[in-house]
């Protein structure tokens, strides 16, 4: 954001006063700060979850997605700056980790065609392990997004318990994430 200083005539209406002009120019900044400020306890909890997420990520995910989620071109989709990873709700991401995904996937509007990617499901991981992976992948490469709870993973695991196959992009896009 760029700050602007301007000279204001001496006869001003109440909406043209210097205070009003300055306050209007910083409203977007105030809004961002109000909605992104976290407490030290929240920061500590998220940091602990990120560290815990690195433990399953390295042996299970990094062979294809590499740390910190950059991937190898043509091998697997990148996690860094991916709209699939940074969505407000992690419902699609949790489903992909649980059951896997195959077929074409669009990352930030760019197609990533098969034969790769074929991501195998990791349903043998615990709800806590799966909940810890998104905070690691979301932040290791500079992404930001809310934390994920084991309860969220457990609820999705229960809702999708009858599923036997990998997800397709078209199916996942029907699941709201905002």
Exposure string for 96-108, b = 16+ CB within 10 A, e = fewer: bbbbbbbbebebe
Report the pLDDT value the prediction gives residue 117, as an integer from 0 to 100.
62
More confident residue, 102 or 146: 102
Work out the percent of the chain whose per-residue pLDDT is above 70.
72
Domains along the chain?
40-172 (1.10.760.10)
Condensed to tens digits (0 to 9), the pLDDT of residues 38-92 reads 445 556 777 787 788 888 888 888 888 887 777 777 778 888 888 888 888 999 9
Q: pTM for this structure? A: 0.71
The 8-class DSSP code of residue 166 comes to -
Mean pLDDT for the stretch of residues 19-35? 41
Is the pLDDT assigned to residue 35 strictly greater than 50? Answer: no
């Amino acid at each position: 954001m760029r700050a602007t200083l301007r000279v204001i005539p001496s006869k001003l209406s109440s909406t043209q006063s210097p205070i009003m002009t300055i306050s209007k120019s910083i409203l977007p900044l105030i809004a961002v700060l109000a909605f992104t400020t976290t407490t030290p306890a929240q920061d500590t909890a998220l940091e602990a979850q990120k560290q815990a997420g690195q433990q399953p990520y390295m042996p299970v995910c990094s062979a294809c997605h590499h740390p910190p989620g950059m991937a190898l071109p043509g091998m697997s989709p990148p996690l860094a700056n991916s709209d699939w990873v940074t969505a407000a709700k992690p419902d699609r991401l949790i489903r992909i980790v649980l059951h896997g995904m195959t077929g074409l996937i669009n990352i930030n509007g760019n197609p990533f065609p098969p034969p790769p990617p074929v991501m195998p499901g990791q349903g043998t991981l615990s709800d806590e392990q799966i909940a810890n992976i998104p905070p690691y992948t979301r932040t290791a490469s500079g992404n930001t997004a809310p934390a994920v709870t084991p309860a969220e993973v457990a609820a999705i695991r229960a809702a999708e318990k009858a599923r036997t196959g990998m997800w397709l992009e078209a199916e996942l896009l029907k699941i709201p994430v905002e």
